[in-house]
Amino acid sequence: MRASSYNEFLMTFYPYAKVRIRSDQTLERVASILSEKVFAHIPFGGSELGLFDEVPALRLEGDFLGLFIAVHGLEGDYILLIKPKPYALRDMRSEVLLSDISNYVAELVRSAGEWHVEVPKA
C-alpha cells in the first residue's frame, strides 16, 4: 500500500464535550469561574455575537487547543459545549470522528464550583 493511499484511510479524532451546569449564579459568573479554574484564565466573551439563537451565550475568547468553547443557557441552566473549530476540520483527508470527553470535562467542572453538573443524554 502506498503512503498516500494509506493516509486516505486514517481517522482523526477530535475532542467533543457537552456538560450541563445548574447554578444559581449568572451566566457571566459561571463563565468567569470556568475561565479561572478550567481554562487557564482565558476569558469568556462575545455575548453580543448571538452564538445561539435567542439564548445568551459566551465563548472562550482565546485559543484553547484549537477548540470552540462556549457556555450558554437561561436562568441557571447552562450548557458548556466544546467542539473543534471549523478551521481544524478544513481540508482533512481523513475521516473525522468526535471523541466524547464529556465525562472527563464534567469532573473538571464539578470540582471548579458549587453547582450541579451532569452529562446530558444524547
Region 29-42: what's the mean pLDDT? 96
Region 25-29: what's the mean pLDDT? 95
pLDDT(1) > 50: no
- Number of structural domains found in the chain: 1
In which residue are the cell numbers 484511510 written? 9
pLDDT(92) > 90: no
Mean pLDDT of the chain, nearest integer: 85
pLDDT(52) > 60: yes
What's the pLDDT at 13?
80
In which residue are the cell numbers 473549530 written? 85
What's the pLDDT at 93?
59
Q: Bigger pLDDT: 1 or 67?
A: 67
What's the pLDDT at 89?
59
Q: What is the domain-level CATH number for residue 7? A: 3.30.310
Q: Which residues contact 59 (CB under 8 A, 6 or more apart)?
A: 44, 45, 46, 49, 51, 68, 69, 70
Tell me how far apart the alpha carbons of residues 110 and 93 are, in angstroms, rounded to a whole number: 37
Give me the domain span that covers residue 17.
Answer: 3-118
